[in-house]
Structure 1
């Protein structure tokens, strides 16, 4: 009887441990990944739904294309990274390139991860992006948008919680005004997009690092494509020149809303652009969630060469990892204008509970964007800041 009870108890304990190991194999990150990010929006708290007045309207709110009065071609490259990401990689590479045995490498990797417990590292690179917008329509092609997020923590042993997104995107947009709307100006827009995604989500143990010559191999990525659409609207109400609300005329308030990824069909089909071999183990990539963004924009009076606006958005409503701390975005943008070929912007904001700041400087067709923002990489109940610094180099025609 005792032996039978001991066997049952051992079986239950083994099943419990195996369950924990299986759960640990998947990333525990609750970070909300945005398929597209622009430095201008990020600098003002990533609140851009009711602004959407440049080429990035294709992805932030296609209704903004209805209000364009001229064309714009933007060619850019960008990089965003957390401080210390390169130093961590250099430490990893030093161990990987050493002549240590597999056992000694495993020990070295454990020590490396333990030295960085609680640290978060990330990098996002878009080596080429092309966008062409005209009044009412636009097209965008992003061959590669690759982001890597790593968090050092203890699961069953020293481990790195890792997520990788590698997206290629083709988008077509159209927007127009609706004259039947009597109170002010009402615009709507649609962005149809094709996205091919490579994806990796796993907690990497030190033993995995010791037995592989790369942190993440291309063969480890799951892959799939999807066709989806975003639908956006903008409303600028007509403010009476007299009466209770006449003081709002100077602010010219505009309100916006976007439904993103309306179909939400997931990446269930593959073109095998990343992995040529048949995929039999890797699950489908993380889908593009159907979410709702709402926002408002308020202009403030121009003075000398300066002008600007204040913005307030609530983003990612409906996302499984949404909370109000992550969802509320607010910011201020200050424009300065010397000549048509020499102008720029300063920005500050609040995103996911953390400060943001950015600037843009335009000199002829050359445009430089600099921004600092933060992602919340913690759990649902414990926010953790991951500070990011980013730059984008543009040719703007």
Structure 2
């Protein structure tokens, strides 16, 4: 799966033809700068959990509550099941001995056959995290995602959106002193993001007119320096009466303001595209995420938590259907080196599920979730499957 997926994205990066006069693609998907399979399995509701290395991006305040260090190295790949089939058919047409006109007709029929479908792939060949009590650092050299939506506009077209991000992030967190009746933690993640971005509709004529689908010269590029600020609050409840039951659940509330500066990608290092640009990549939007977490009572080797988040408040494509995230996580622990998790949830009104298995330093995460790729009034499900291989120290 990893080899085919990586080759698919590599092929797309080496593919896209010049269509400079065209408008941007139409996409209503809310793109998240970072995603973790663990969170996605539980509805992508993680703001008030944030108790592993991914807290750097989900809620840096979680680092204030770490009691030990963690180094995580991983490879992540995911996508919609039909993406590889579409790419294979595309490759068959491209490598055939047909004339350009015959290829154009074949591409047109391929797009028409897939009308209404939205295919996506996302690969991060290497991610590195190092977190300790109160601080953390993350390096993601390449996070490449591609979305292709089949539409009938002037003619059959593929609305194509590509994000190619390189990220370096530093986090610091601590507890606020002098807080009565509970524990209040805060944290901040400063991040440098270099983004390559492509958003254009591609027609059958474009496909047939050249050997490339997307060229580096057609990608917009820029970098930004921004920050996320997060908070976690666990109230101190009375130990008598009904409150004692709630106290066992250790309710926690989280809040994160993402991309506080929202300065956009106005400057470029010209790592991908050395040519002059007529625009900038899609910015990191300033949004607010809020969430709650409730722990289940531990029984034998089992435990877990329930979570409810409202995410992406302030995003131009936000609505309540997309914003509400709900999840449940069930832990099981045989020993410190053998444990795992099961997860279910709702993300953008579609079901999610996930599983993790940890055996020593070798970890495997799997998640299935869906993006809402429809309009504000008409939800459309695009099912995605994601896998992450981890070395965890």
Structure 1: distance between partners of 2:209 and 2:45: 44
TM-score, L = length of structure 2: 0.94
2:118 maps to 120
1:267 maps to 265
Structure 1: distance between partners of 2:365 and 2:42: 12
1:211 maps to 209
Aligned residues: 375
Q: Is the CA contact 2:350–2:381 (under 8 Å) kept in the aligned structure 1?
A: yes
**Local SS of the residue matching 1:167:** strand
Give the CA deviation at 1:220: 1.4
RMSD over equivalenced CA pairs, Å:
1.3
Q: Is the CA contact 1:24–1:155 (under 8 Å) kept in the aligned structure 2?
A: no
Structure 2: distance between partners of 1:42 and 1:370: 9
Q: Is the CA contact 2:20–2:218 (under 8 Å) kept in the aligned structure 1?
A: no
Structure 1: distance between partners of 2:253 and 2:376: 30
Larger radius of gyration: 1
- Residue by residue over 1:111-169, the C-alpha shift from the partner in whole angstroms, topping out at 9 and shown as x without a partner, is 11011111111000000000000000000000000000001110110000110000000
Structure 2: distance between partners of 1:342 and 1:280: 51
1:349 maps to 345
Give the CA deviation at 1:24: 6.8
Give the CA deviation at 1:243: 4.2
Q: Is the CA contact 1:43–1:372 (under 8 Å) kept in the aligned structure 2?
A: yes
Structure 2: distance between partners of 1:247 and 1:307: 16
Which of 269, 275, 280 is matched with 2:277 structurally? 280
Which of 50, 62, 65 is matched with 1:64 structurally? 62
Which of 328, 334, 339 is matched with 1:338 structurally? 334
Report whether the alignment pairs 1:391 with 2:387: yes
Matches within 5 A, 1:259-338: 259-275=257-273, 277-281=274-278, 283-338=279-334
**Local SS of the residue matching 1:332:** strand
Larger CA deviation: 21-30 vs 39-48: 21-30
Q: Is the CA contact 2:220–2:277 (under 8 Å) kept in the aligned structure 1?
A: no
Give the CA deviation at 1:183: 1.7
Which of 141, 146, 149 is matched with 1:148 structurally? 146
1:47 maps to 45
Larger CA deviation: 101-110 vs 305-314: 101-110
Q: Is the CA contact 1:126–1:144 (under 8 Å) kept in the aligned structure 2?
A: yes
Structure 2: distance between partners of 1:211 and 1:146: 25
Structure 1: which 5+ runs fail to align? 1-20
TM-score, L = length of structure 1: 0.93
